[in-house]
Every structure is written in C-alpha cells, then in structure tokens.
Chains A and B, each alone.
Chain A
C-alpha cells in the first residue's frame, strides 16, 4: 500500500510559538490531503481539506488563521499551528488520497504538547 509520513512525530513547544508539521506521501502523488485532530480517548475530527495549488477548506469552528495549511506540491502538505497555546496540545493526523487504490492513507500522527 501507499505510505504517508509525518514529521515530527512529536514536538514540545512554549506557549506563543509556532509549530510546523509536515505530511508527505512517499510513493504516490496526492492532490488532496486531510488534516485531523484527535483528542485523548476521542475520535478524529476533520480540521481541513488541503488541495494542491489552492487554498485549504476548513471545517466549521476551525480557525484558519491559527491553523495554516499549505499544500505546495503533490507530495507535501504542511500544517502550521501559529501562536500555540496549551489548548492546542493534541495529536494531529494527516491523510492522503491515493488515486489508484481510491483510498485514504494515514500518517502516523504528530503529538504536539504546548507548555
């Protein structure tokens, strides 16, 4: 199957700083990627849909100025958490659509801890 990677796998930062998380499709091109957020013992909540070469589509309630998404190439999407605060601490997961398999493939996730 197709492989999606995320970097970093975990990050700790101070309140007020910005953090960038990368999502890469390693062996396929992905015109569409998704970003999810997972709270402890809760489900994955879709944050936004990232489309290569265009602006991301954010779900209701997600602050687009706080969670900046850039899909600069067919293999890379980035999520930047700007001016992070402790309530932004969470597990962030990306997925990418692989056209041949007609399926979403998920990255391993990035755990963000804001102190």
Chain B
C-alpha cells in the first residue's frame, strides 16, 4: 500500500537558519503530494502541494519539488522564523486531495530566536 516516510524530529534551529525536512513516498500510479502544517492548538493547514512530477509547490517561503525519480518531496525554507515553529506533515493522495490522505509521522520544528 501507499506510505510516506518522513524525517523524524524534533528539529531545533536558530532563526534565519536553512530548513530541510525530508520526505519520501511509496505509491502506485501518480499520487499528489502535500505538506501540511499544524500550529499549536490548531488544525492541520495545507502548506503547499504538487500534483505531478517536477512540479514545485511553494507558500510562505517554503518550497518542495515533486521528484519522481527519487520518490521524494523534501520541504525547504531558506530562512526560518520563530513563527514557523509547528509540526509539519508530508502526505500523499491518489488524486488532488479529494481522496484519502496517507500521512507521514510528522516533524516537530522549533525555531529559537
């Protein structure tokens, strides 16, 4: 079945540091890939997505590129802020988020001023 393997946390960085959270997947066909963020006390929010190979999703300074050859969708940000502290989930679905999502285990990110 489909699965998502995500970099284990927690991750602690200083403000303005470069961030990478690794995510690889196993799926049949051509899934859509997502990054969700969960801020303390809130529900999951879609951060970015990519629906086909070589697509780059981006939002709020975060980026991730759908790499079919390496089955990866790593999350990156050039300069993190304290407000980026949250739990980040990589996920996939069979098509465009309308079907069930398979999540990675989540990575807790803490940014220190």
Chain A residues packing against B (C-beta within 8 Å): 4, 32, 34, 41-46, 49, 93, 95, 97, 102-109
Q: Is B111 an interface residue (CB 8 A)?
A: no
B43 touches A43 (CB 8 A): no
Most chain A beta carbons < 10 A, residue from B4, B89, B96, B97: B97
| Contact A93/B43 with A34-B100, A103-B97, A104-B97 known, Cβ cut-off 8 Å | yes
The 8 A CB mask of B27-44 against A (1 = contact, 0 = none) is 000000000100001111
A4 touches B103 (CB 8 A): no
| Contact A44/B103 with A93-B43, A103-B46 known, Cβ cut-off 8 Å | yes
A4 nearest in chain B by CB position: B43
Contact among A41, A45, A97, A106 with B44 in the assembled complex (CB-CB below 8 Å)? A106
Chain B residues packing against A (C-beta within 8 Å): 4, 36, 41-46, 89, 96-98, 100-106
B98 nearest in chain A by CB position: A97
Chain B residues within an 8 Å CB radius of A43: 4, 89, 103-106
B100 touches A42 (CB 8 A): no
Q: Complex formed: what's the CA distance from A32 to B98 in Å? A: 9
